[in-house]
A = this chain, B = another copy of it.
Amino acid sequence: MDIKDILERLSRGELEASQAELLIKKKPFTDLGYATIDDQRWIRNGVSEVIYAEGKSTEQIAGIIDRMKENGQNNILITRLSEEKALAVRDRKADKIKDFQYFADGRTAVIGDFAPADGIGKITVVTAGTSDIPVAKEAVITAKFLGNEVMEIYDVGVSGLHRLLARADDLMSSKVVITIAGMEGALASVIGGLVSCPVIAVPTSIGYGASFNGLAALLSMLNSCANGISVVNIDNGYGAAYQASLINHIR
């Protein structure tokens, strides 16, 4: 927050007290009634606000996109977007959004460009099974959108260790590893023991019975005996990639 700048302008008489107060409080967001858009997040956090589409109507999503574009934000990431809504948004905004890309396997859309890959190194996204790939794709698209080189390694669960060990070099040369697994989530611990970079573990809701929709994998990952592992919410590929990107862009 540039509160100091505002205060200095105030002390130089360039602003009145009431104006300064207004600036401090009112400036950085837009109230659409149904949504309060954080127009300055890119200043504070380095990344524009991302649209989480779940529970929002097509109208609301389109309205937010409009406001973002008006605010000069041309590259927009939309997560948890169903195919049906994606088509509706695209149609409605056809004149304005010429660059709308939808990735059905990750239920994610990108408007505008992916940022150039300017991180320290690569982020590796690993899944235990084939069924975990949709969560992985959300992570992959997010990481690329945020300007990272991404490597994908799928279906290397611990019941066939050699599949995983064969990729040891790829894993060891990563700057961050995102480990995605459902069922018992053991992959996080095994990878945590192999690499010396941070591991972000994503439990998935893949499984049945006593997996309790991802609870088993979540608890497993939280209790990992390996070092360097932290965990995000079940199926939260986006969140893992966001943090991985922060790490990969650390200065």
Residues of B contacting A231 in the complex (Cβ-Cβ under 8 angstroms)? 222, 230-232
Contact status B232-A154, CB under 8 Å: no
Q: Would you mind naming 5 contact pairs between A and B with Cβ atoms under 8 Å apart?
A: A7-B17, A10-B17, A45-B228, A183-B223, A231-B231
A98 CB–B CB distance under 8 Å: no
Contact status A220-B184, CB under 8 Å: yes
User: Which 8 pairs from chain A and chain B are nearest by CB?
Assistant: A209-B234, A55-B131, A186-B186, A230-B230, A216-B219, A159-B226, A159-B193, A36-B155
Stretch from A24-32, A68-76, A84-92, A110-118 forming part of the interface with B = A24-32
Among B154, B195, B200, B227, which residue has its beta carbon within 8 angstroms of that of A33? B154
Q: Shortest CB–CB separation between residue A105 and chain B, in angstroms?
A: 10
Whole-angstrom CA separation of A38 from B157 in the bound complex = 11
Give A168-189 as 1s and 0s: 1 = Cβ < 8 Å from B's Cβ atoms: 1000000100000001111011
Q: Shortest CB–CB separation between residue A104 and chain B, in angstroms?
A: 12
Taking Cβ atoms with an 8 Å cutoff, the residues of A that contact B are: 1, 3-4, 7-8, 10-11, 13, 15-18, 20-21, 24-26, 28-29, 33-36, 38, 40-41, 44-47, 50, 54-56, 60, 120, 128-131, 133, 154-163, 165-166, 168, 175, 183-186, 188-190, 192-198, 200, 203, 205-236, 239-240, 242-243, 246-248, 250-251
Residues of B contacting A222 in the complex (Cβ-Cβ under 8 angstroms)? 184, 209-210, 216, 218, 231-234
Number of chain copies forming the complex: 8
Residues of B contacting A215 in the complex (Cβ-Cβ under 8 angstroms)? 210, 219
Whole-angstrom CA separation of A159 from B220 in the bound complex = 13
Q: Shortest CB–CB separation between residue A183 and chain B, in angstroms?
A: 4
Contact status B168-A220, CB under 8 Å: no
Interface centre among A15, A33, A188, A230 (most CB of B within 10 A): A230
Whole-angstrom CA separation of A162 from B47 in the bound complex = 17
Residues of B contacting A33 in the complex (Cβ-Cβ under 8 angstroms)? 154
Contact status B189-A158, CB under 8 Å: yes
Contact status B166-A25, CB under 8 Å: yes
Contact status B219-A34, CB under 8 Å: no
Residues of B contacting A246 in the complex (Cβ-Cβ under 8 angstroms)? 196-198, 228
Knowing that A38-B160, A120-B250, A229-B243 are A-B contacts, what are 15 other residue pairs whose CB atoms are under 8 Å apart, sorted by A's residue number? A1-B168, A4-B21, A11-B11, A11-B20, A34-B133, A45-B227, A183-B223, A183-B224, A183-B225, A184-B219, A198-B247, A205-B209, A208-B235, A209-B234, A229-B232
